[in-house]
Chains A and B, each alone.
Chain A
Amino acid sequence: MKVYFTIFHAYMKTLLQYRIAAFAGIVTQVFWGILLIIIYKAFCASSPGSAPMSIQDFIIYTWLVQATFRLIPFGIDTEIQQMMSKGVIGFELVRPVSLLHLWMARYLAKRLAPTLLRFFPTMIISLLFLGMKLPVSISGCIGWFVSLFLALWLSAVISLLMSLTLFWTISGEGISHMMTVLIYSTSGQILPLQIFPDHIAFILRLLPFSGMVDLPNRYYIGTLSLSQLPMTVLFQLSWIFILLGVCQVLYNKSTKKIVIQGG
């Protein structure tokens, strides 16, 4: 058991050192946020009555997305890809612990560390200069925090799932790319789900990805109230366990493949 914490800790230590990359990331996210807000304001200006979301709310939502940008999995895990191309995955089976749990600990760190580095500077800059506001209420803050915590776990599981698909396709690039686009568009990372037509937003909110971005943000803005927390926690937890189950199945199948075919 302790080994998972050791891995998490080791990766956190290493990843928290990438400060220059974090700086570049912050600049990018700030630019992005400004751009998005300009675009939305322009849209609102052309037909003032049609806004599904107030400009104020949009601003807050956007800065939350930018501040937690790295929480969402994207692209391929190059370390895993390297391992695959060097045929080292079989090696992971030589260890006395489940590879699945090892990777889970690793992904928790991989999602958390870069986010931590970028979160505070981005929040401070946007709070001071770019129209960002603090959570609408204490209960909103609590809801935001709890769902954000679960969002981290959800994100780690989805990262795990994406890596496992690499077992199946030699160049997992195609699948990873597609999943990234899917995740970005449907989680609220590109556009708040509220902007989508209501019936589409409804469907998107059933998918696990919305649990990573849209859900916590709605607590922060106040669209969701604390009384809905049990429901949303259930939603996030259910998806976490379902996806973990899928991961386990994929993993068992792949190891069987390696173990019979020789990797």
Chain B
Amino acid sequence: MSVIRIENLCKTFHSGRKNEVKALDHIHFTIDKGEFVGFIGPNGAGKSTTIKILTGILVPDSGLCEVLNLVPWKNRIQNAKQFGVVFGQKTQLWWDLPLQDSFAILKDMYAIPTAQYQSQLTNLIQLLHLESLLKRPVRQLSLGERMKADLVASLLHQPAILFLDEPTIGLDIPTKLAMRQFLKTINRQLETTILLATHDMNDIEELCPRILFIHHGKILKDSTLERVRKELLDEKRISFEIEPSSDFHPIPETTLINQSENRIELSFHPETIAITDLIEKITSQVSVDNLVIESPSIEEIVMKLYQSATG
């Protein structure tokens, strides 16, 4: 059952008389209930524009967009009750008011019944450890605390959909981990559909079974991380330490990536040569220490993706 439908969506921005930026160029995708989708792409690719259209604060030039069967910009107020949104650097909370007052205002704004509000609030606050911050005005919160509070705010009315636009920018590691855990939980327990636009590849790796790659306003990939990895950078890396004086001859099935006095890094395809065979070939030449086998990092994969898109 599709929860978000976008077909042939176009949006061009005009700045001045001559400047025209094609932000969205006939993009097309559907998202089903309970999916956790990652939205990646370089800056200016169109991620924020898409989310703005989905939340109804931007009107596209042409094409179809439906969120739970409503057209966002036409039914702005109705649609607003169906989703929660967190825009990275910006807060939707009231700057001068204590956190709990912001929440109370949202309760009335979304007409959340009291019992439901209480249990949801308690639940969310506990999950994100915000108990001690409830009385503080928002302007006194650190960035991480504010982001967590914004997450809570976006979920108070138990929306079916959650849009996240760069939610982990500038956060420290513990906070990032806490947020990831939290998002995983609500996606699994409450079947909240989540669309996460981000630059943080670790977020994607941790959370998103499916990714949408957007560049210059076009969706260039709609796939899973595993498939993309296989397609673009289906290789493994093996690195190990050797005695400085040893003589290492290149192994035909491998490519040399890095060679220093005592460390060598090779890349290979598991299909061309089995790992056990490779290790044998290496150890038959030299004695090794600290042998590590890994896949290319997700950043490298995405770089490849960017390159193949522009190339």
Contacts and interface: CB of A to CB of B under 8 A. Distances in A.
Do A and B interact directly, with beta carbons closer than 8 Å?
Answer: yes
B56 A96 contact: no
A253 interface: no
A259 B57 contact: yes
B57 A88 contact: no
A6 B91 contact: no
Contacts of A83: 95
A13 B101 contact: yes
A146 interface: no
Contacts of A10: 94, 97, 101-102, 104-105
A3 B56 contact: no
B57 A258 contact: yes
B108 A96 contact: no
Nearest to B78: A96
Interface in B42-59: 49, 52, 55-59
B117 interface: no
B77 A260 contact: no
A14 B97 contact: yes
B53 to A, nearest CB: 10
Contacts of A95: 80, 92, 109
Interface residues of A, number: 27
Assign chain B's interface to a size class.
35 or more
Given A88-B91, A96-B77, A258-B57, A6 B98 contact: no
A11 B97 contact: yes
Contacts of A7: 105
B76 interface: yes
A11 to B, nearest CB: 7
B248 to A, nearest CB: 56
A10 B80 CA distance: 23
A126 B95 CA distance: 36
Interface string A1-40: 0110011001101100000000000000000000000000
A262 B80 contact: no
A3 B52 contact: no
22 contacts: A6-B107, A7-B105, A10-B94, A10-B101, A11-B97, A13-B101, A14-B101, A86-B89, A93-B76, A94-B55, A94-B57, A94-B85, A95-B80, A95-B109, A96-B80, A96-B109, A96-B110, A258-B57, A260-B58, A260-B59, A262-B13, A263-B57
* Majority SS at the chain B contact face: mixed
A91 interface: yes
B22 interface: no
A87 B90 contact: yes
A162 to B, nearest CB: 18
Given A14-B137, A86-B89, A94 B56 contact: yes
Contacts of A88: 87, 90-92
Interface in A153-176: none
B149 to A, nearest CB: 14
Given A90-B52, A91-B57, A260-B58, 17 more contacts: A3-B105, A7-B105, A11-B96, A13-B101, A93-B56, A93-B57, A93-B76, A94-B85, A96-B77, A96-B81, A96-B110, A97-B109, A259-B58, A259-B59, A262-B49, A262-B52, A263-B57
B92 A91 contact: yes
A262 B55 CA distance: 12
A94 B108 contact: no
B213 interface: no
B55 A97 contact: no
A261 interface: yes
Interface string A52-84: 000000000000000000000000000100110
Nearest to A106: B94
Interface in B236-277: none
Nearest to A92: B92
B186 to A, nearest CB: 19
Contacts of B39: none
Across the A-B interface, give the 3 residue pairs with the lowest CB-CB distance, nearest first: A3-B108, A10-B101, A96-B80
B87 A91 contact: yes
B73 interface: yes
Nearest to A88: B90
A222 B89 CA distance: 55
Contacts of B109: 3, 95-97
